[in-house]
C-alpha cells in the first residue's frame, strides 16, 4: 500500500480539500528542475551588441542537458532590457516572449538539438544598427519528458 | 482545525538555503501556496483537443522541440492544442484554474545564489512501481533535489479601466509587482467567461501583454474589449538566474 503526503493551504481541511486547495500532494507529479551550479538548468543568456554585426549567423549559446530523455523546457526571450526603442523594428520596446524572436531581417533562433538546444543570432542585413542593444534569454529545463 | 493564518504551517527550503531565512523563491514548498500539480500529460497532434474532467478552465501547456512552448486555450472541459506545424505536442494539464483568484504571501529573503550543499538530506516521494533509490528524477512525484514551479498569484476578474500608470484609463487587467523579482507569468483573456485564450506580447492589437514602465506592472491590454482576464504568476524569478554573457 502506498502512502500519500498532503499539506493543505491555509483555511483548508486537509482531509476534505480538493487537490487545488493543497499546497503539496504527493499523488500528483510535478515539473522538476534539477538544482545544479555546474550545469544550471535554469539560466540567463545575456547578449550585448558591441557593434553592428555583419550579415551572418552567430552562435550565442549551447546548452547540453545530460539527461537520459528529451526534456521539456521553455525559454523566454526578454526585450525588456533593450537599450533602444525597438519600434524601428515594429516591436514593442519592452516585452517577454517564448522562444524565437524575429524583427525586421534579424532573428534570434532557438534550435533543439536533442541533447539540448542552441541559440543563434541571424543577421540577414546590416540595415538595423544593433550597436549598443542588449537582450536576454531565460531558460528553464525540466527533467519531465518533452516528447 | 483549518486556519487562515499564514504564520502557521510547513515549509522546506531548496538545497543550500536555510529554511528559516529563505525567500519564497528558494523554498521547495510552503503550506502557504500550492505547487503546480500535473493532472495529465501525454502527446497529441497539433490542432487537436484534449478532454479533461476538471470542470474549470485549467492552466495547460503544449510543447514540442520545433515549435517550443505554447500556453493553451482552455475551457471547463477541453484543452485546445494550437496548430503551428506538424510535430506532435507534449501537453501538460495542471490542477490549477486560470479563473479563480489566488494570492499567496510574499516571503523575502537573500537573493544571491547559494553554494549547494550535500544532497543526502531532503525528501522524495517515488511513483508506484519505481525504486526509491532511483537516480532518475522522473521516477518521483516530489524530490527536494529539484525545484518545482510554485504559484504566487492568480489575478483575475472583469476587465475594467486601469489605474495609475502607462495605461491609465485603458480597459484591461494589471498585476502591480509585490515580489522583489520579476516572475514567470502567463496571461489569459476570455470574451465570454467560458473559453480562456492565452495572450502574448506579440499581437499588434489588443488583447496583448504590455509592461508598465512606471511601476513595472504586467498589463493585459484589452482596449476596446469586454470580458474577463487572468494573470498567473509563479514564484520563479526571471532576474536572479545564473548569467552567461555574450558580446557580439
Average of per-residue pLDDT values in chain B: 90
The DSSP code sequence of B89-105 is EEEEEEEEESSS-EEPP
Residue A59's DSSP bridge partners are A120
Interface check for B164 against chain A (CB to CB < 8 A): the answer is: no
From CA B238, how far away is CA A14, in angstroms rounded?
A: 32
Nearest CA in chain A to B245: A46
- What band does B202 get if pLDDT is binned at 50, 70 and 90? confident
pLDDT tens by residue, B33-52? 999 999 999 999 999 999 99
Select the more confidently predicted residue: A117 or B111: A117
Which cell is A11 given? 483555511
Q: Is the pLDDT of residue B162 over 50?
A: yes
Angle at B146 between CA B148 and CA A46, to 5 degrees: 80
Q: Smallest Cβ distance to A10: which of B4, B29, B65?
A: B4
Is pTM, for the whole model, over 0.90? yes
Q: Is the pLDDT of residue B30 over 80?
A: yes
pLDDT tens by residue, B88-98? 999 999 999 99
Residues contacting A145, CB < 8 A, separation 6+: A69, A70, A71, A72, B41, B90, B138
pLDDT tens by residue, A124-137? 888 777 888 888 88
Interface check for A1 against chain B (CB to CB < 8 A): the answer is: no
Select the more confidently predicted residue: B1 or B49: B49
Q: Is the pLDDT of residue A24 over 60?
A: yes
Exposure string for A92-108, b = 16+ CB within 10 A, e = fewer: bbbbbbbbbbeeeebeb
Contact B241 A9 (CB under 8 A): no
26-65 of B, contacting A, C-beta below 8 A:
29-39, 41, 43, 61, 63-65
Angle at A46 between CA A42 and CA A47, to 5 degrees: 145
**ipTM of this complex prediction, to 2 decimal places:** 0.92
- Can you give the C-alpha Rg of chain B in angstroms? 19
Q: Smallest Cβ distance to A68: which of B38, B136, B247?
A: B136
Contact B35 A24 (CB under 8 A): yes
Select the more confidently predicted residue: B124 or A104: B124
As a whole number, mean pLDDT of residues B124-130 equals: 92
Amino acid at each position: 500500500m502506498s502512502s500519500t503526503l498532503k499539506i493543505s493551504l491555509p483555511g483548508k481541511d486537509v482531509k476534505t480539500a480538493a487537490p487545488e486547495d493543497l499546497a503539496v500532494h504527493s499523488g500528483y507529479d510535478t515539473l522538476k528542475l534539477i538544482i545544479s551550479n555546474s550545469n544550471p538548468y535554469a539560466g540567463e543568456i545575456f547578449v550585448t551588441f558591441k557593434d553592428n554585426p555583419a550579415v551572418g549567423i552567430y552562435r550565442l549559446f549551447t546548452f547540453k542537458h545530460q539527461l537520459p530523455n528529451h526534456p521539456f523546457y521553455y525559454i523566454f526571450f526578454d526585450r525588456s532590457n533593450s537599450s533602444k526603442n525597438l519600434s524601428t523594428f515594429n516591436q514593442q520596446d519592452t516585452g517577454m516572449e517564448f522562444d524565437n524572436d524575429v524583427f525586421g531581417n534579424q532573428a534570434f533562433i532557438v534550435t533543439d538539438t536533442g541533447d539540448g538546444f542552441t541559440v543563434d543570432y541571424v543577421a540577414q542585413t546590416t540595415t538595423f544598427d544593433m550597436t549598443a542593444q542588449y537582450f536576454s534569454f531565460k531558460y528553464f529545463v525540466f527533467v519531465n519528458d518533452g516528447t | 482545525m483549518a486556519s487562515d493564518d499564514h504564520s502557521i504551517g510547513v515549509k522546506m527550503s531548496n538545497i543550500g538555503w536555510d529554511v528559516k531565512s529563505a525567500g519564497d523563491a528558494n523554498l521547495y514548498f510552503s503550506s502557504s501556496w500550492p505547487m503546480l500539480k500535473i493532472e495529465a500529460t501525454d502527446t497529441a497532434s497539433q490542432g487537436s483537443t484534449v478532454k479533461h474532467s476538471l470542470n474549470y478552465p485549467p492552466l495547460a501547456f503544449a510543447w514540442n522541440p520545433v515549435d517550443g512552448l505554447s500556453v493553451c486555450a482552455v475551457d471547463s472541459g477541453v484543452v485546445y492544442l494550437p496548430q503551428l506545424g506538424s510535430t506532435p505536442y507534449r501537453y501538460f494539464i495542471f490542477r490549477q484554474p486560470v479563473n479563480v483568484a489566488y494570492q499567496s504571501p510574499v516571503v523575502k529573503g537573500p537573493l544571491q545564489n547559494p553554494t549547494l550543499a550535500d544532497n543526502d538530506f531532503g525528501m522524495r516521494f517515488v511513483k508506484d512501481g519505481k525504486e526509491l533509490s532511483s537516480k532518475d528524477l522522473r521516477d518521483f512525484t516530489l524530490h527536494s533535489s529539484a525545484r518545482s514551479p510554485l504559484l504566487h498569484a492568480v489575478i483575475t476578474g472583469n476587465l475594467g479601466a486601469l489605474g495609475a500608470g502607462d495605461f491609465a484609463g485603458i480597459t484591461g487587467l494589471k498585476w502591480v509587482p509585490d515580489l522583489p523579482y520579476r516572475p514567470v507569468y502567463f496571461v489569459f483573456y476570455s470574451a465570454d467567461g467560458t473559453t480562456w485564450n492565452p495572450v502574448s506580447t506579440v499581437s499588434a492589437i489588443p488583447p496583448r501583454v504590455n509592461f508598465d514602465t512606471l511601476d513595472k506592472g504586467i498589463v493585459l491590454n484589452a482596449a476596446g474589449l469586454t470580458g474577463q482576464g487572468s494573470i498567473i504568476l509563479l514564484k520563479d524569478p526571471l532576474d536572479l538566474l545564473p548569467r552567461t554573457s555574450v558580446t557580439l
